Amino acid sequence: MNRTSYGAAIREAFVYLLDHHPEVFVIGQGLWAKWYVGNTMTDLDKLYGPERIMDSPVSEQACTGAAVGASLCGYRPIVVHPRMDFMLYAMDALVNQAAKWSHMLGGQAHPAVTVRAIINRGGEQGAQHSQALHAWFAHVPGLRVVMPATPRDARDLLISAVLCDDPVLYIDDRWLYEWEEDLPPIVESPLEREGPRILRSGGELTLVGVGYSTRLCLQAAQSLATKGIQVEVIDLRVLNPLDPFTIVASVKRTGRLLVVDGGWRTCGMAGEIIACVSENLPLGMLKQSPRRLTLPDAPAPTSAPLERAYYFGESEIIQAVRALLG
């Protein structure tokens, strides 16, 4: 066991992949700079050289497309988008190309590309430096989407993503980079075996988080436990393809569901989880209507007081749990 932060855990995954898998290379903006991606890739260019750690022009679409192309030729590229907002230029490479090639070519071509997108918000960064668009991508068949919440997943899901033969979008969140955890040794695990995971057991309510909101859920659950309220916390981890049955089974036990998602409300991930549970739960098993806590349907503001109103925290989760418990 060694105490590792979420950010350092990502770097451990890169080191592991680059050491053990010669077909892995990394491409993206700012990879030779000190500040683009926090502490998650420090000095990788010096360790592995500029040909495996390729800093690139600001050409999101061509760089992502090039990674898709290289992945069709035996490589396992990782594309890094230091902010998810800029990745929208690469929608064609992700949605029309990477996600489709297996199906539309009859299962003969598999773009084994990993796209790492970073959610980087707060600090008055505003509407185009803050977005969490995971739900958009989870909508696309053929594109696997993972969001690690814990340091262990930050490391292990990146390794599983890169070793997967399908295109994977791996989304990490800078608000998690300082979270520390003891990590066991690395064991490679096929991504298709990964899914939602219960991080804390409890019988009164099921609390589902994704990425950073999972951490808030854990903090809220801990506070509630000191008041004698036991809630179950499930980390979604794999958004697409979605396996809702861990969550459904939990809600069968608790009868109450609160989904907490740091994305927008309309057509978002929280709505999808509630729909899956509603469809799969026998009538009458819910003690309360399910609820979701999300960002308001508005772009991120810049001004600090508006920012405080825009993002929710532990206290809003506790409030929502108490409301559901009546």
Number of H helices, E strands in the chain: 12, 14
Using CB under 8 A as the binding rule, whether residue 279 contacts other proteins is answered as no
Closest CB 123 distance from other proteins, rounded Å: 30
Closest CB 106 distance from other proteins, rounded Å: 3
Which residues within the stretch 76-135 sit at the binding site for other proteins (CB under 8 A)?
A: 77, 92-93, 96-97, 101-110, 112
Closest CB 165 distance from other proteins, rounded Å: 4
Using CB under 8 A as the binding rule, whether residue 196 contacts other proteins is answered as no
Report the distance separating Cα 165 and Cα 139, nearest Å: 19
Report the distance separating Cα 121 and Cα 263, nearest Å: 12
Closest CB 217 distance from other proteins, rounded Å: 25
**Of 51, 226, 228, 326, which lies in the binding site for other proteins, with binding defined by CB under 8 A?**
51
Closest CB 89 distance from other proteins, rounded Å: 9
Q: Closest CB to other proteins among 166 and 232?
A: 166
Q: Closest CB to other proteins among 38 and 196?
A: 196
Closest CB 64 distance from other proteins, rounded Å: 7
Geometric angle at alpha carbon 64, from 160 and 210, rounded to 5°? 45
Using CB under 8 A as the binding rule, whether residue 68 contacts other proteins is answered as yes
Which residues within the stretch 224-253 sit at the binding site for other proteins (CB under 8 A)?
A: 241, 243
Question: Tell me, what amino acid is at 137?
Answer: F
Report the distance separating Cα 26 and Cα 53, nearest Å: 5
Q: Closest CB to other proteins among 188 and 192?
A: 192
Closest CB 27 distance from other proteins, rounded Å: 9
- 39 secondary structure, DSSP code: T
Q: Which two tokens stand for residue 264?
A: 């927008």
Using CB under 8 A as the binding rule, whether residue 201 contacts other proteins is answered as no
Centroid of chain to Cα 283: 32
Return the residue matching tokens 């001004």. 303
Of the ranges 66-74, 130-138, 297-305, 316-324, which one interacts with other proteins (CB under 8 A)? 66-74
Sign of CA dihedral 304, 306, 311, 314: positive
Q: In degrees rounded to 5, what are phi and psi of residue 146?
A: -125, 145
What is the x/- site pattern for other proteins, positions 154-193, by CB under 8 A?
----------xxx-----------------------x-x-
Q: Closest CB to other proteins among 96 and 315?
A: 96
Q: Which residues pair with 312 in a beta bridge?
A: none
Question: Tell me, what amino acid is at 27?
Answer: I
Of the ranges 60-68, 201-209, 251-259, 294-302, which one interacts with other proteins (CB under 8 A)? 60-68
Q: Is 238 helix (H, G, I), strand (E, B) or coil?
A: strand
Strand 231-235 versus strand 197-200 pairing type: antiparallel
| Per-residue buried b or exposed e for 244-278, using 16+ beta carbons within 10 Å of the residue's own CB | bebbbebbeebbbbbbbbbbbbeebbbbbbbebbe
Closest CB 102 distance from other proteins, rounded Å: 6
Q: Which two tokens stand for residue 295?
A: 């960002």
Report the distance separating Cα 242 and Cα 273, nearest Å: 9
Using CB under 8 A as the binding rule, whether residue 141 contacts other proteins is answered as yes
Q: Which residues bind other proteins (CB under 8 A)?
A: 25, 51, 56-57, 59, 61-75, 77, 92-93, 96-97, 101-110, 112, 141-142, 144, 164-166, 190, 192, 241, 243
